[in-house]
Amino acid sequence: MFSFHEVSKEFKTDFWEKPFRALDKVSFNLSGGNIVGFLGANGAGKTTGIKILLGFIKPTSGKIEYDPALGKNRSEIFKNIGYLPERPYFYADLTGREFINYIGQLNDLTKLDIKKNGDFWAKSLKIDFALDRKLRFYSKGMLQRLGFVSALVADPMLLILDEPLSGLDPLGRKEFKDIMNQLSSEGKTIFFSSHILSDVEEVSREVVILESGKLVHSGNLLDLVKGKTTDEYELVLDSRESEKIKELGSLQEQGEFCRLVFPQSDFSRVLEQVSKENINIESLKKVTPTLEDIIYRIGV
């Protein structure tokens, strides 16, 4: 869908100060049809990357290339892109319906298509009841939903969502994730930034990770998880038994249970010892890191 080629961005904070580098030679390629999580801590450069991608700011060096499938010129490309900014702000005196009409008309949709698509997505995102209200009376979550409707109304091939799940309650987050999965199954590409890693893990197949403006990882999420998985096992036992096994590995007390982590090479020895001591096992599984564990291990 698009590629970043050695993209850097520097901001001058003060005339005398050295420029601050928000992005440092970031290169990655985003293939079509996936949900791609754009990760990084606050200030990692995610929003700067999205602003460059959409042409709001110019890179200091490097370039972005769009897939020819999106279109030949800016107008064609942007007809195929839907964008939801972080904390979307709207025209307070327009109604939700007027705003959807506005976006639809900018995308050259017919009145019929605007009504059909707008009503469909407004109903799917449960904001249809408020479309005739002025936007100044919308709550934060309602604005987020309307922003998503406006990003979808022109049926784009690529969706760029900047922190789409922030400001939503758990139910709203689930609804957004369900719709993202539905759109992905229809062949749409979704590129979304988030710092809620569990949400990214739930819906993304690929991730792009930034740390202090530099690319840390770009690629398949499963590969990342497999690559960071160590050959360790985790045994959960009653904490009263901890004394009998504390020499066998790394032991952590967790309330009434204790958690023993040990390498695969000690597997037989540990099980033998547990069996010999007649200890009741609560669970035994291979240690698989969550995305959160991996990101923190990478250092983001």
Partner 1 sequence: MNFGKAITIGKFTFIEIYKSKIMINILLSGIVLALLCYIVSEFSFGNPSKIALDVGLGFLSLTTKAIAIFFGATLLKNELESRTIYLILSNPVSRVEFLVGKVLGLSGILLLNTILLSIFTTLFYYYWDGVWNSLIAWSILQTFLESVLILLIVLFFSLITNINLAIIFSISIYVSGYAIRGALSLPDVKSNVALTKVVTLISYVIPNFSLFDIKNFVLYKQELDSMYLLGTLGYSITFSLIFLVVSSLVLSSKDLN
Q: Report which secondary-structure segment, H or E, holds 73.
A: none
Q: Report which secondary-structure segment, H or E, holds 77.
A: helix 74-79
Query: Nearer to partner 1 by C-beta: 94 or 284?
Result: 94
Q: Which stretch binds partner 1 (CB under 8 A): 33-41, 94-102, 211-219, 222-230?
A: 94-102
Q: Is 282 in the site for partner 1 (CB under 8 A)?
A: no
In the complex, least distance from residue 232 CB atom to partner 1, rounded to whole angstroms: 45
In the complex, least distance from residue 98 CB atom to partner 1, rounded to whole angstroms: 7
Q: Report which secondary-structure segment, H or E, holds 240.
A: none
Q: Is 137 in the site for partner 1 (CB under 8 A)?
A: no
DSSP state of 279: P
Residue numbers 57-76 binding partner 1 by CB under 8 A: 57-58, 74-76
Is 100 in a helix, a strand, or coil? Answer: helix
Near partner 1 by CB under 8 A: residue from 35, 37, 107, 251? 107
CA angle 117, 120, 122 (to 5 degrees): 105
Strands of the 81-84 sheet, one edge to the other: 81-84, 158-162, 189-194, 35-39, 206-211, 214-220
Q: Count of residues binding partner 1 (CB under 8 A)? A: 36
Task: Write the binding mask 153 to 182 for partner 1: x where contact by CB under 8 A, - elsewhere.
Answer: -x-----x----------------------
Measured in degrees and rounded to the nearest 5, phi and psi for residue 20 equal: -90, 130
Q: Is 267 in the site for partner 1 (CB under 8 A)?
A: no
Q: Is 144 in the site for partner 1 (CB under 8 A)?
A: no
User: Minimal CA–CA distance to 196: which of 226, 229, 170, 215?
Assistant: 170
Contacts to partner 1 by CB under 8 A: 11, 51, 54-58, 74-79, 81-83, 85, 87-91, 93-94, 98, 102-103, 105-108, 134, 147, 150, 154, 160
